[in-house]
Amino acid sequence: MTIRNGPTTKNSGSVRIGLMKILAGLSVTYIDSKMQVLDTTTNSLGALAQTKYTGDVEWWDMYSGYPQQLDAVFPIKESASIECAFLEQTPWNLALAHGLDPTAVEYASTWSGEIALGARVAPAYLRVEGIGTYPDGTHQLNIIFPKAQVKSSVEMEDQTDQGSNTPCTIHSTPADSGVTDGNAIWDDMPLGRIYIS
């Protein structure tokens, strides 16, 4: 019997290939739901060039003794974000990238809309969902940011032989009952959650 060495596959179906679908809607409308609830068509950013989830933690190291040795590590800051780059240059997508509420009626049309420049205010609070589909086409990895804001510099880089894409970074903010427009269902997971279904 031949035994393969190294990290061999346990379940090839759990390897995701391709990009996540990114959905966005107004946070306050869906704040009381833990599950994926946004419409996968009307709330979608459409075609994407890149998607990336980051769960960033800053740690504090405790040392003691001489010579000092590491005794413990403690998390002191935590954040979660999704980076994406959308290919479709629509009023809806550009409004989102500028921190505006893309669900507002003035951004509903594909071919008409206006983004005011030089009038930035605090970004709108959005619900953002990332949906990654496994190769079986049935199971999904879902990332839920119940209350998030877009914090990005907007770029539209054009090239002769590639589609223009616009990068966008979405940062999760606390959605627990201790904040305005939060909800108690997020008290144990204030930045949202990842679940597989």
pLDDT tens-place string over residues 168-191: 999 999 999 999 999 999 999 999
pLDDT at 60: 98
pLDDT at 180: 97
The CATH number of whichever domain residue 149 belongs to comes to 2.30.110
Q: Is residue 92 part of a domain?
A: yes
Q: Is residue 125 part of a domain?
A: yes
pLDDT above 90 (res 137): yes
Mean pLDDT over 142-168 rounds to 93
pLDDT tens-place string over residues 82-101: 999 999 999 999 999 999 99
CA pseudo-torsion sign 25, 20, 110, 40: negative
pLDDT tens-place string over residues 2-42: 788 888 888 988 999 999 999 999 999 999 999 999 999 99
Q: Is residue 65 part of a domain?
A: yes
pLDDT at 185: 98
pLDDT at 76: 98
Band of residue 163 on the pLDDT scale cut at 50, 70, 90:
confident
Which residue segment(s) compose the domain that 92 sits in?
Answer: 13-196
Count of structural domains, the chain: 1
Buried b (16+ CB within 10 A) or exposed e, 149-187: bbebeeeeeeeeeeeebbbbbbbbbbbbeeeeebbeebe
pLDDT at 93: 96
Mean pLDDT of the chain: 95
Q: Is residue 118 part of a domain?
A: yes
pLDDT at 161: 87
Q: Is residue 152 part of a domain?
A: yes
Q: Is residue 6 part of a domain?
A: no
Q: Is residue 102 part of a domain?
A: yes
Measured from the Cβ of residue 75, the count of other Cβ atoms closer than 10 Å reads 9
Q: Is residue 8 part of a domain?
A: no
